[in-house]
Amino acid sequence: MKLLFIGDIVGEPGRRAVKTLLPKLRDQHLLDFVIANGENSAGGSGITPKTAQEIFSAGVDVITSGDHLWDQKEVTELLQNEKRFLRPLNYPPGTPGQGSGIFEIQTSSATRAETRSSPLSIAVLNAQGRTFMPTLENPFLLVPPEIERLRQQTTIIFVDFHAEATSEKIAFARMFDGQVSAVVGTHTHVQTADEQIFPGGTAYLSDAGFTGPHESVLGREIEPVIKRFVTNMPQRFEVARNRVLLHGVVVEIDDASGKATSIQRVSEPLA
């Protein structure tokens, strides 16, 4: 099976890029499943039920999040009512929502579907790092038992690790080599060029980048960010508008073993 993971969707330009470009990418790569990080989809910070529905309607199957989870108060409704929306697993017990889920794959290829004896499912897990990030429970301790639980139900497991430090991302992914199909990092909004498949069959990319305006500073208007660095005074960081790209990664996974067979970065411009 083939899945596309879309890097952090930033504001209206990012949502528009997904809506416009995803149908073409689905056909081009024969995608079976699409995951997107949507934590910046509402005005560039946070997510709401309305923006989530817009992303789902564009063809995304599951939305993950990160440290901007709580930036919009309406997110509580999303956490309580939408199983296709995931928050980081390593929040304390009692936090609304879920950090992982198992979803049935609707394959885009009739030929591949005919060779399967039973419906195929995928587990998606969202976790957040702790280095240079808001402090949550230790993902290195909490994630292993969750992966063991998910592996009882499916061999195909995708992990969005929302973290700042590259070393933490690599160490986390190496820890689970052979236990999950892919670990892809989010949060920095800068697409890295280190895509690879580890010896145990786990695909890895330090950061998927971001989907939105790239004539910017990480999706925001340039001048206010520069002014903040120059003056150290608060500024309003509006979402930029120009040179919109969809960033992400396509991973092909063996149905039976759950091991990745290929990984390919995506950087698709919105005309």
Neighbours of 191 (CB within 10 A): 21
Length of the chain: 271
What are the residue ranges of helices labelled H in 30-135? 49-57, 75-81, 110-114
What is the helix (H) or strand (E) element at residue 23, kind and residue range? helix 11-29
In whole angstroms, give the CA distance from residue 251 to residue 249.
6
102: three-class secondary structure by DSSP:
strand
Distances (CA, A) of 190 to 206, 215, 253: 9, 13, 25
CA dihedral angle for residue 214, residue 160, residue 74, residue 103, rounded to 10 degrees? 120
54: three-class secondary structure by DSSP:
helix
Residues marked as catalytic = 68
Residue whose pair of structure tokens reads 């063996």 in the numeric block: 254
What is the helix (H) or strand (E) element at residue 125, kind and residue range? strand 121-128
Distances (CA, A) of 194 to 19, 166, 249, 269: 27, 11, 12, 21
CB of 122 within 8 A of CB of 157? yes
